[in-house]
A = this chain, B = another copy of it.
């Protein structure tokens, strides 16, 4: 079998002088706590603290980063244990793992490989690389570990040194697991974030059922514009009680609108009647971003906008397997014109804070850095999704820093449902940021003292400030020591 060894200098720049600087910077942030202000872990894990079952069900079958690549090379989703519209297939998990193991070369040069190696080596202490020869051994080792208390969700949360993690929950969803976590007495900080897409997007397949739940949970008449807005306000307040400091909006575009109250209500009425054109659907989503911004001015929830994904692009796969099967493809995304209506209304508000994400890297230098380098209410989220990778993170810093600086960015988001990969993802981000800072130092564009302060800010302080986490949890004692 091939040994698995994580090199201590991995992902740092190859140039020896630059690497030396990067190593020093990384040493100062490597062990800082993980702050995860945006992601998709399941709160049930932390509420119930039940053991996970096996490698396939934990690491492979739910991870569209992995199975999209295998699917692209003709591997069937059924053979990997991925559920279709009829539910999970009868595939033997061990067999699925072997299929995965036999296609490892597809992941060469990808972040998936980096994350998986980290999970195997660091989380499970496995010392051989995954391949057909080691597949069974690794499957067994993971299964054995998962059966032990040390690998239950809460134990890993603590071992990973997670200071805070946010889940993302629908506006129409109960927060029972969050309630349960709070009442459990467990010290882990798990908060929620308000994601109202299903009750805002008339083209969402759950729109009607989500609206029903939204009405039931709030007691509001959500078929009236006034009641619908009141329902949002109620739920936002409840989410804030459950620790939320942010909302999240995943629209096809970044379009915003600034309709008069009369026009907004008329549009809402058309949407409710159900005969909504694509243009009206887009306009309603656009208007609702502005409405959400207005509510953020009032309640202080930080607004995240994640636009630009063409969802469920593969029609055949959507029909057979449903949503979220690795078939979402980025599209060209405009921000300058799209955000103007919202900014015309709330752009000079001192209370508003909007974090912008993109799947279109051409917007970094052209639109996003200039916007964030001017508007007090705008900040840049980190490299997202397909760009949450070493090259993607480098390009993010190279294309945004000169115009927006570092202080209009917000630290790292792991944005993942793959809980075990969270330390790996933060590790990658810290290494790449330190490598970028080291290059600036090596090129005499930044002093070492400034770089050291920045390394800690990019890793720890900015995320806490940008997501207004100070009201949720105070800075820990260890940080003060580490930052000395």
Contacts and interface: CB of A to CB of B under 8 A. Distances in A.
A444 interface: yes
A328 B403 CA distance: 12
A244 to B, nearest CB: 23
Contacts of A337: 310, 331
A373 B343 contact: no
B350 A74 contact: yes
Contact of A371 (B14, B329, B362): B329
A381 interface: no
Nearest to A64: B374
A110 B12 contact: no
Given A348-B317, A391-B402, A329 B10 contact: no
B313 A340 contact: yes
A43 B109 CA distance: 39
Contacts of A375: 72, 314
A243 interface: no
B446 A108 contact: yes
A16 B432 CA distance: 21
Contacts of A369: 386
Contact of A109 (B73, B111, B331, B445): B445
A365 B361 contact: yes
Contact of A370 (B348, B386, B450): B386
A7 B444 contact: yes
B73 A376 contact: yes
A331 B326 contact: no
Given A109-B401, A329-B336, A366 B361 contact: yes
Given A327-B374, A445-B10, A386 B403 contact: yes
Given A367-B330, A386-B365, A405 B348 contact: no
A15 B18 CA distance: 8
A307 B108 CA distance: 29
A91 B110 CA distance: 54
Given A391-B402, A403-B110, A443 B13 contact: yes
A217 interface: no
Interface string A70-91: 0111100000000000000000
B72 A347 contact: no
Given A7-B444, A440-B109, A390 B402 contact: yes
A359 interface: yes
B109 A405 contact: yes
Given A348-B314, A374-B68, A105 B331 contact: no
A106 interface: yes
Nearest to A327: B374
A321 to B, nearest CB: 11
A236 interface: no
Contacts of A273: none
Interface of A: 2, 7, 9-18, 68-69, 71-74, 105-111, 114, 310, 313-317, 326-332, 334, 336-337, 340, 343-344, 347-348, 350, 359-362, 365-367, 369-376, 378, 386-387, 389-392, 398-399, 401-408, 439-440, 442-447, 449-450, 453-454
Given A14-B18, A314-B374, A366-B386, 8 more contacts: A109-B402, A110-B403, A313-B340, A313-B371, A329-B336, A330-B366, A330-B370, A369-B386
30 contacts: A2-B447, A2-B449, A7-B444, A10-B443, A11-B445, A12-B443, A13-B443, A14-B18, A14-B439, A14-B443, A71-B376, A72-B378, A72-B404, A105-B450, A106-B407, A108-B406, A110-B401, A110-B403, A310-B336, A313-B336, A313-B343, A314-B348, A314-B375, A315-B340, A315-B343, A329-B367, A331-B336, A332-B334, A361-B362, A361-B365
